[in-house]
Amino acid sequence: MAEIAAEAAPATAKFGGTYSVATIAWRNLWRNGRRTWLTACGIAFAVWMLVFGMSMQVGTFEIMIDNGARLGLGHIQIQHPEYANNPSLEHTIRDADRLESLLAAIPTVAVASPRAMSFALASSTDRSFGTQVIGVDFAKEASWSTLPDMQRTGRYLAGPGEAFVGSVLARNLGLAIGDEMVLLGTAKEGGVAAAVAEIVGTFTTGQAALDRALVQIPLEDFRAGWELAADEVHMFVVLADSVADSEVVARGLKSTASVPGTGWIAQDWRDLMPEAEQTIDLKYIGMQFFFAMLVIIVTFSVVNTFMMTIFERTPEFGMLMAIGMRPGSIMLQLLLEAFWLAALGVLLGMAISGGLVAILASTGMPLPADAAEMLKQYNLPDRIYPKFSTDAAWTATIVMLLGTQIAAIVPALRIRRMRPIEALRAKE
């Protein structure tokens, strides 16, 4: 009993004394170092699972979004206010050169590519099929779009009078490289739009809607055939330096577009790829459910740890109450022990997660050979590059600190029912 009293005596010191309650709580953790490390490692494992798992997801999502953007949609699109709901030929953006200069002045914008679009009838000698014709600045498109890299035969656009078409459309029309294709549609003023283009290349994206109906021609050819002015386009496809940068740019452009009389609106990748946003949201929900299960398991582990602590240290608590320490102060000490335990686990988990993410962010995590070959066909990387998720890091830290506090309160409430005499007689 004397040993218990000698060990417990410093706990009665005030915060300004030689030992603070926080210092004593830290030292108490190491009275059973093995149990402390086991519990801290459980917390670290949960933190690692959330932070590293979410970082891998963020990296995967960015690849998915960026691939969709580079296939043709872009991270952001600038359009006429009516074009999204009614993609009519007359809904154009005028003074395109001024808008292009405005976009080029934004530091995080990698490229802003102008486009004009319409539907037309593509014809060969005896066959005709409906198509979507896109007039592009082919030099800019080649610098950012993955579509030119998906060519199946021939090459990409390099000058006027040329067409780059889907491989299925070319097959349906019975046309090959070097053959001419006639495009007929309705011009902006209601007349007949006509263009003749030589097929210089075909592409295969794996998406039937594109492979059987998409035709790209030079922007100037489109303007001439569909009677658009030299400063008219239907949209600017904007690619930022990264997906995160694109969200910042999109907010700024939307704010600018809200000024009356602007004549255009901005749409970010969420507006352009709603199915991708839904997939990401679903994945996040699944990850959160999995993390919730881990938190519950870790919480029970902490409850068990502090139940054992209270049973082992009952005589000590009895001595503290006998010399005048209030039960609330003892409970505070236990809560501080829980805080130090959680902090140790969180720091350990963050160190492991941060180290792994830092390494893999530069080297990438290689995918199995079969998956890598399939991804190459769609111009996707064969490695996953995680991106550290600060949101996951903050969530893991807050949840674990609060979870361990709640877990410590449950067994700590037993101290309120302790009687000093009975506690002093209890066997360790």
pLDDT in tens, 147-181: 998 889 999 999 999 999 999 999 999 999 999 99
Domain contains 10: yes
Distance, CA of 190 to CA of 177 (rounded, Å): 32
Distance, CA of 18 to CA of 91 (rounded, Å): 77
DSSP output for 115-171: EEEEEEEEE-SS-EEEEEEEEE-HHHHHHH-SGGGGEEEE----STTEEEEEHHHHH
Residues 295 and 210 in one domain: no
Tokens 């600017």 locate to: 236
Domain contains 301: yes
Task: Give the chain's end-to-end CA distance (angstroms, integer).
Answer: 11
What residue type is 293 in one-letter code?
M
Give, for 217, the enclosing helix (H) or strand (E): strand 214-218
**CB burial of residue 274 (10 Å; 0-12, 13-18, 19+):** exposed
Provide the domain count of the chain: 2
Residues 142 and 215 in one domain: yes
Domain contains 348: yes
Residues 416 and 301 in one domain: yes
Average pLDDT estimate for 102-113: 92
Residues 263 and 129 in one domain: yes
Domain contains 127: yes
Residues 204 and 115 in one domain: yes
Residues 244 and 297 in one domain: no
- Given 242, 267, 292, the domain boundary residue is 267
Residues 181-234: tens digit of each pLDDT: 999 999 988 889 999 999 999 999 888 889 999 999 999 999 999 999 988 999
Range of the domain at 364: 2-66+277-425
Domain contains 128: yes
Q: Which residues contact 388 (CB under 8 A, 6 or more apart)?
A: 51, 55, 353, 354, 357, 358, 361
Distance, CA of 107 to CA of 377 (rounded, Å): 32
Domain contains 379: yes
Confidence of residue 11 (pLDDT cuts 50, 70, 90): very low
- Given 267, 296, 313, the domain boundary residue is 267
pLDDT at 4 over 70: no
- Chain mean pLDDT for the chain: 84
C-alpha of 259 from chain center:
30
Residues 27 and 168 in one domain: no
Residues 156 and 251 in one domain: yes
Residues 263 and 281 in one domain: no
Distance, CA of 32 to CA of 290 (rounded, Å): 31
Residue 25 has a CB neighbour count (10 Å cut-off) of 20
pLDDT at 246 over 70: yes
pLDDT at 6 over 50: no
Residues 345 and 248 in one domain: no
Distance, CA of 365 to CA of 179 (rounded, Å): 44
pLDDT at 15 over 50: no
Average pLDDT estimate for 252-270: 84
Residues 21 and 158 in one domain: no
Domain contains 71: no
Residues 359-414: tens digit of each pLDDT: 988 888 877 666 556 566 555 667 788 888 888 899 889 988 888 888 888 777 77
Bridge-based pairing state of the strands 128-136 and 214-218? parallel
Average pLDDT estimate for 319-346: 83
- Given 267, 297, 317, the domain boundary residue is 267
Residues 14 and 87 in one domain: no
Distance, CA of 156 to CA of 154 (rounded, Å): 7
Average pLDDT estimate for 43-54: 90
Domain contains 272: no
What residue type is 114 in one-letter code?
P
Q: What single-letter DSSP state applies at residue 70?
A: I
pTM of the predicted protein model: 0.76
